[in-house]
């Protein structure tokens, strides 16, 4: 199993509409990718590691897949539509990490 994490860096001038992300963007992604997605969740950053520190990421979306190949085959045909929706909820440039789930 792998996890695809889409991380949105936070800064003082970052705008992020978490309601749109949760209620519009992610359901669209799930609908496009279908049953290839095995699970997922959304984190909304609230603080950093020290008192008063801003969260390094304003939001992180996680999606679980059987393999990198299954993710890439499902995502590829819809990449343009998914990526073109980003300006509707944020001005942040997402960072993507694919991780192997160990536990």
Low-confidence ranges of the chain (pLDDT < 70): none
What pLDDT does residue 35 have? 97
Q: Tell me how far apart the terminal alpha carbons of the chain are, to the nearest angstrom.
A: 10
What pLDDT does residue 21 have? 98
User: What percentage of the chain exceeds 70 in pLDDT?
Assistant: 100
Q: Which residues contact 14 (CB under 8 A, 6 or more apart)?
A: 8, 58, 90, 91, 92
- Please give the CATH architecture assigned to the domain spanning 2-100: 2-Layer Sandwich (3.30)
pTM of the model: 0.94
What pLDDT does residue 30 have? 96
């Amino acid at each position: 199993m792998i996890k695809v994490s889409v991380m949105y860096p936070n800064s003082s001038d970052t705008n992020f509409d978490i309601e749109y992300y949760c209620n519009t963007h992610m359901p669209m992604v799930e609908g496009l990718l279908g049953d290839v997605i095995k699970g997922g969740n959304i984190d909304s950053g609230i603080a950093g590691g020290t008192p008063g520190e801003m969260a390094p990421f304003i939001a992180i979306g996680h999606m679980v897949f059987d393999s990198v190949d299954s993710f890439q085959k499902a995502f590829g045909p819809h990449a343009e539509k998914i990526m073109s929706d980003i300006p509707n909820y944020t001005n942040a440039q997402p960072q993507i990490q694919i991780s192997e789930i160990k536990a």
